[in-house]
Amino acid sequence: MKKVVSILLSIMLLSTFAACGGKKVNSNSSKTGGVTTYIFLNCWNGGAADFPDGWDKSPLVAELAKKTGVKLKVETITSSEKEKLATVFASGDLPDITNAPYWSTDPGGEGELIKNAAVDGLILPIKKYIDKYPNIKRMYQEGIVSKTYLDKDINNKEYEGEIYVIPTQTPRTKDDVTNWAYNLFCRKDILASLNIKSESITSTQAEYDLMKKIKDGNFKDINGKPVIVGSTWHDGWNYADFLRGFGTGNVTGWSKDSSGKLVNDRFTQNEIDKVLFMRKLVSEGLFDPECFTQTDTQAKEKIVTGRVAMFGCHYPNEYGFLKGTLYKDHPEMEYVPLGPILNEKGEVPAQISTDGRSGSPVLFFSKKIKNPEKALGFVDYINSDEGLKLVTFGIEGTHYKMDGKVPKYTDEWNNIRATDDTKFKLAGFGLAGNFVGADPRNGWGWNPDYSEAGYVNARKVSPLKFIDYKTADDVVNTWPGKKAYDEKMSTYNYDDELKKAYLAKSDADATKVVEEVRKRMKAAGYDEMVKYLNDEVAKDPKVLN
Amino acid sequence: MDNDKALRFNHRMSLKKVFSKYGSFYLFLLPAIIWYAIFAYYPMTGIIIAFKKYRYGLGVFGSHWVGLRYFKEFLADPHFYEIIRNTVVISLAKLIVNFPAPIILALMFNAVSAKIFKRTMQTVSYLPHFVSWVVVAAIIQKFFSPTTGLINDIRVSMDLKPIYYLGQKNLFLPFIVLSDMWKGVGYGSIIYLAALTGIDPTLYEAAEIDGANGWNKLWHITIPGISGTVGIMFLLSVGGLFGANMEQILLLQTPATFDVSEVIDTYVLKRGLNMNQFDYATAVGLFRSVISLALVVTANYLSKKFSEVSLW
C-alpha cells in the first residue's frame, strides 16, 4: 500500500512539474475572424507613452483594423534600445514587426545589430514585395532618404541586393523635414526675475554667467525646493546643448587645421576646451552630476516640478511632457529657448539635414511572420493619403472636420492634443510616429504643432541647413582599413570616457581622457586613415567636413 | 582480484536491492534532475561560443571556431588589470567585512535572553534580504543624491556645499560593502543560529559548574561548536571571490567611479548586451568561472589538509 501511495505521489509531482512548464503558446501572429494580430515591438526607450493601456480599444484602431484586417499587440521598452535588440536577436525570438533606430551600421550602433540580424537570416527580406505597395516604395526614393543612407545602410553591400528595412519618420520634401528645435531651454520666470532676455544668451560666457546668477538667485521649484541650475533628461540627454558654443559648424567630426588638412575633432584644442568647460560647470555646482546616469523617471521627477532651471532638449519632447503637467498650473514656468548660442566660428548653429534623411527609425519584420503581405499592406495603408489622415486626425466628425481641403481637429480634440498627451495617445494617435515614412503631413500644413507659438520660436533659434554632397565621413567609410580600425576601437566607449572626464577631480585628469583616446586612435591606425582622407579630399575638394 | 569482483558484484546487488525497495521514492528526484538538466546544464553548452565567432543565424553550434582568440584579446585589453584589480578588491573587502558579520550577529542574538526583543530584531534584520537591489539603490540615491538626496538637503539648509557621494571614488567601496552588509547580514545569520541550536546545552551547564564566565563559554564551547559551519560557509564564499555582485555594482556605479567599480561581471554585461559581443563576453565570463573553480578546489584542498572541514 505504502509503495502504491508513493508511486501515485511521484506521478502527481511529475504532473505538477509538467504543468509548471505551461502550454506552449505561439507568441507570434494570431488570426481571429479575418483580423490578424501581430506583435509589434516599439523599440524606443520611453516609447510606452505612445501606447497607454487601452489605446487598442479606440475607434481609430477599430477603423484601422476594419480597413486593413490587422491589429497590433504592442511591446514597449524602458531600457536601452541596443540592449533590447541584442536580447531579441540573440534569443532568435523576434516580434512580428519592430520599429527601432537604424542610425548607423558602424560597429557599436543599433544599426549594426539590425544589419547582422538581417545578414544572419532573422529578418524578412522584403524586396520582392515592395513593388506591390506604392506607399512603401516611395519611402526608398533618393531625396526622401539621402543617397549615402540609401547606398550604405538601406542597400548595404552585405545584403547582396536584398532589402530588409523600411525607413520611417522621413520627410517627403524639404518642406516636410522636421526641425526638432534642439536648444538649451531655461525657465521663463527665472529669466524675467533676473531681467535677462533669452535672446541675449549668445555665447558660452553668457551661458556660464547666467548659470552663476541662477545659482546665486535662490530660485525655487513649485514645492519650494532650490532649483538645480543645469540638468538633462535621461542618461544625460541632451547635455551637448550646454556645449553649443564649442560647436564647429561642420557637418562631420572633422575640422581643418591651420595647414588646411583635415583632422579629427578629437585632436583639436577645442575638444579639450569643451571637456574642461563641462567639468567647470560640474565642479562649480552649476550642473547636475548625476544626470548622466539618471533614468527617464528620475529626470522627469526633477523637471516636472520646475526643479531644473536649464536643460538641453528638443522642443517636441519637452513640450509634449510639460504641457499636461507643469504648465497646466504653472504656465509662468514655461521653458523658453536661449540664444542662439553662437558656435566657435561665431555662426548660428544649425540642424544639418542632408538631401533626404541620412539615418532613421526603421520597420522590419520577423522572418517567421505569418502572412507578411498582410503586415506590409497594413504599413502601406497607413502611408496612403487616407491612412495618414486616419492616424493623424482620427475619424471625421469625431476628431476632426474638414476646413476646405485641410483637416482640422475639433476644438475638443485640439484642446486634448495641446494639454493631455496621454488621452490623445489613448485615442490611438501614437501609431502615426511608428509607421509613417515619406511623411508629407507637415508640408501639407496639416500639423498644428508647427504653428504652436513656442515651437515657432524654438525653430527660429535653431534653423535648418541642408547639405547635398558627400562628407568626410562618407570618404572615411571607403578607406580599406576602416573595418580593422573599427574593430580595434570597438572596446572603447568614448561617451563613457567623456562622462568620466566631466566628473574628474582635476583638469589634468579630464585632459588625460582626451589624450588617451588620441593614443588609442593612433594605435588603431588613425594616421593612415587621416592620410587616406586628405588624399581623397585633394582629388575632390567639394567633400564636406 | 576475485575479492574485488565479488565486492563490486555485492555492491551492484545492494544497489539493485535499494532501487527495488525505494525506487518509487527516487522518482521524486526526477523533477529536480529534469529541472537542472534543462535550466542549468543545457544552457551551459552555450559556453562554447567563447571559442567561436558567434552569428545569430548560425547559432551556438553552427558558428565558426576561433580558438582562444577572445581570451587573448581579454588579456591584452587595456582594461584587464583594472577590472581584475577591482574585482579582487571589492570581493576581498566583502569577504573580510561581511563574512564575519552574520557570525557576530548570530552570536549576539544567541546571547539575548529577552525573547520578544530577540525575535523582533531578527525579523528586522532579515527584511532587507527581501528588498531587491533596484530598490536598495533607489533608497541610497534618495539619501545621497547631490540634488534631491536627504543628506544634501540638510547640508544645503546648513549652507554647506552638496557632495556627490556616489561620485566619490574613495566612498565607492564603503557604499558597496556596507549596503551589502545591510542587505545580507540578518539573513546570513540564520544558518549560524541554526548551528548554534545544535550545541549541546549540557556543555554550558557543565562549564558554569566549572566556573566559566560568558567569554570562556563563547570561546571554548560556542565558537568550536559552529566552526564546522563557518568553515563550509567560508569555502563557499571563496568560490564567489571573483563574482562581486553585478546587479549591486551596476546600480551604484557612476561615470566618476568607473575606474574603481568596473568588475568582471559588469564588463561582461556591457560587452555582451551593450556592444553585442556575446562571444567575447562569454570568454571573459568563462575566464572568471575557471578562476573561481580553481580557488574553491585549492581552498578545499588546503582546508582538508590543515583542518577537518572540506566540501568533498
Judged by phi (left if over 0) then psi (alpha if -120 to 50, else beta), residue A49 lies in alpha
- The predicted-structure confidence for A147-200, as pLDDT tens digits, reads as follows 888 988 999 989 999 999 999 999 988 878 888 899 999 999 999 999 999 999
Q: Comparing A332 with A456, which gets the higher pLDDT?
A: A332
Q: What is the mean pLDDT of the segment spanning A318-328?
A: 89
**Interchain CB contact of B29 with A (< 8 Å):** no
Q: Which residue reads 546571547 in cell numbers?
A: B111
What is the secondary structure of A441-497 as a DSSP string? TTTTT--GGGGSHHHHHHHHHS-EEEE-S-BHHHHHTT-TTHHHHHHHHTT--HHHH
B4 band by pLDDT with thresholds 50, 70 and 90:
low
Q: What is the mean pLDDT of the segment spanning A418-425?
A: 86
Percent with pLDDT over 70 in chain B: 96
- pLDDT value of position A228: 96
- pLDDT value of position B276: 78
Buried b (16+ CB within 10 A) or exposed e, A449-467: beebebbebbbebbeeeee
B92: amino acid identity, one letter: L
Q: Could you tell me if A135 and A363 are in contact, meaning their C-beta atoms sit under 8 angstroms apart?
A: no
User: What is the complex's ipTM, to 2 decimals?
Assistant: 0.76
**Interchain CB contact of A116 with B (< 8 Å):** yes
Q: In this structure, what is the dihedral angle of CA atoms A54, A60, A64, A65, given to the nearest 10 degrees?
A: 40
Q: Could you tell me if B67 and B76 are in contact, meaning their C-beta atoms sit under 8 angstroms apart?
A: no
CA distance A444 to A175: 9
Residue B259 Cα, gap to closest chain A Cα (Å): 9
Contact A290 B167 (CB under 8 A): yes
Cell numbers linked to A394: 482620427
DSSP character at residue A113 = H
| pTM, 2 dp | 0.79
CA distance A334 to A309: 10
Q: Could you tell me if A186 and A338 are in contact, meaning their C-beta atoms sit under 8 angstroms apart?
A: yes
Burial of B261 from C-beta contacts in 10 A (0-12 / 13-18 / 19+)? buried
Cross-chain CB nearest to B24 (options A3, A116, A500) = A3
* B153 neighbourhood in chain A, CB within 8 Å: 225
Residue A17 Cα, gap to closest chain B Cα (Å): 7
- The predicted-structure confidence for A459-472, as pLDDT tens digits, reads as follows 888 888 887 778 89
B186 band by pLDDT with thresholds 50, 70 and 90:
very high
Residue of B35, B56, B135 for testing the chain A interface, max A β-carbons within 10 Å: B56
Question: Which residues in chain A (52-91) have CB-CB distances under 8 A to chain B?
Answer: 80, 82-83, 86-87, 89-90
Residue of A162, A491, A493, A502 for testing the chain B interface, max B β-carbons within 10 Å: A491
Is the pLDDT score of A31 beyond 70?
Answer: no
Instruction: Note the helical H segments in chain B.
Output: 2-26, 29-35, 42-44, 59-62, 69-76, 80-98, 100-111, 115-126, 133-144, 150-157, 169-197, 201-209, 214-217, 223-239, 246-252, 258-261, 264-269, 278-306
What is the secondary structure of A297-313 as a DSSP string? HHHHHHHTTT-EEEEEE
What is the secondary structure of B122-168 as a DSSP string? HHHHHGGGGS-HHHHHHHHHHHH-TTT-HHHHHHHHTTPPP--GGG-
Residue B260 Cα, gap to closest chain A Cα (Å): 12
* A82-A86-A91 Cα angle (round to 5): 155
3-class secondary-structure state, position A218: coil
* B284 neighbourhood in chain A, CB within 8 Å: none
Which of A128, A408, A228 is CA-nearest to residue B156? A228
Q: Which residue reads 537542472 in cell numbers?
A: B36
Contact B56 A90 (CB under 8 A): yes
**Interchain CB contact of A499 with B (< 8 Å):** yes
Is the pLDDT score of B159 beyond 60?
Answer: yes
* A268-A270-A275 Cα angle (round to 5): 110
Beta strand A182-187 pairing with A335-337: antiparallel
- pLDDT value of position A407: 86
* B250 neighbourhood in chain A, CB within 8 Å: none
Contact B274 A86 (CB under 8 A): yes
Contact A502 B273 (CB under 8 A): no
**Interchain CB contact of B225 with A (< 8 Å):** no
For A117, the closest chain B residue by CA position comes to B56
Is the pLDDT score of A1 beyond 70?
Answer: no
3-class secondary-structure state, position A400: strand
Contact B167 A491 (CB under 8 A): no
Cross-chain CB nearest to A120 (options B57, B254, B272) = B57
**Interchain CB contact of A285 with B (< 8 Å):** yes
Q: Could you tell me if A330 and A246 are in contact, meaning their C-beta atoms sit under 8 angstroms apart?
A: no
Residue of B19, B20, B22, B24 for testing the chain A interface, max A β-carbons within 10 Å: B24
Question: Which residues in chain B (260-289) have CB-CB distances under 8 A to chain A?
Answer: 271-278
In degrees rounded to 5, what are phi and psi of residue A24? -70, 115
A52 CB neighbour count, 10 Å cutoff: 15
Contact B255 A499 (CB under 8 A): yes
- pLDDT value of position B20: 82
Which of B238, B232, B240 is CA-nearest to residue B309? B232
Residue of A503, A505, A509 for testing the chain B interface, max B β-carbons within 10 Å: A503
3-class secondary-structure state, position A287: strand
Is the pLDDT score of A379 beyond 70?
Answer: yes
Percent with pLDDT over 70 in chain A: 91
CA distance B231 to A458: 67
Residue A448 Cα, gap to closest chain B Cα (Å): 37
Is the pLDDT score of A415 beyond 90?
Answer: no
A18 band by pLDDT with thresholds 50, 70 and 90:
very low
Q: Could you tell me if A135 and A107 are in contact, meaning their C-beta atoms sit under 8 angstroms apart?
A: no
**Interchain CB contact of A45 with B (< 8 Å):** no
Q: Comparing A355 with B287, which gets the higher pLDDT?
A: B287
- The predicted-structure confidence for A243-298, as pLDDT tens digits, reads as follows 999 999 888 899 999 899 999 999 999 999 999 999 999 999 999 999 998 888 88
- pLDDT value of position A106: 66
E-strand ranges in A133-275 read 166-167, 182-187, 228-231, 254-256, 262-264
End-to-end CA gap in chain B: 28
A47 CB neighbour count, 10 Å cutoff: 21
- The predicted-structure confidence for A467-499, as pLDDT tens digits, reads as follows 777 889 889 989 999 989 988 887 778 888 999
- The predicted-structure confidence for A218-255, as pLDDT tens digits, reads as follows 999 999 999 999 999 988 999 999 999 999 988 889 99
Instruction: Note the helical H segments in A217-325.
Output: 269-283, 296-303, 315-322
A29 band by pLDDT with thresholds 50, 70 and 90:
low
Contact B28 A496 (CB under 8 A): no
**Lowest mean per-residue pLDDT among B8-17, B38-47, B81-90:** B8-17
Q: What is the mean pLDDT of the segment spanning B230-236?
A: 87
* B59 neighbourhood in chain A, CB within 8 Å: 92
Beta strand A166-167 pairing with A464-467: unpaired
B208: amino acid identity, one letter: E
Which of B253, B269, B244 is CA-nearest to residue B137? B253
Cross-chain CB nearest to A87 (options B24, B35, B273) = B273
Cell numbers linked to A363: 520597420
CA distance A246 to A255: 13
Contact B164 A289 (CB under 8 A): yes
* Residues 6 or more apart whose Cβ sits within 8 Å of residue A177: A171, A353, A357, A464, A466
Which of A22, A363, A16, A407 is CA-nearest to residue A168? A363
Q: Could you tell me if A529 and A482 are in contact, meaning their C-beta atoms sit under 8 angstroms apart?
A: yes
For B272, the closest chain A residue by CA position comes to A86
**Interchain CB contact of B30 with A (< 8 Å):** yes
Beta strand A406-409 pairing with A182-187: unpaired
**Interchain CB contact of B157 with A (< 8 Å):** no
Instruction: Kindly report the average pLDDT of chain B as a whole number.
Output: 88
Q: Point out which residues pair with A409 in neighbouring strands.
A: A400
**Interchain CB contact of A109 with B (< 8 Å):** no
Measuring CA to CA, how many Å separate B64 from each of A121, B49, B52, B53, B91?
16, 9, 5, 6, 35
CA distance A249 to A239: 17
Percent with pLDDT over 90 in chain B: 49
Q: Comparing B107 with A354, which gets the higher pLDDT?
A: B107
Cross-chain CB nearest to A6 (options B24, B164, B278) = B24
Q: What is the mean pLDDT of the segment spanning B51-72?
A: 89
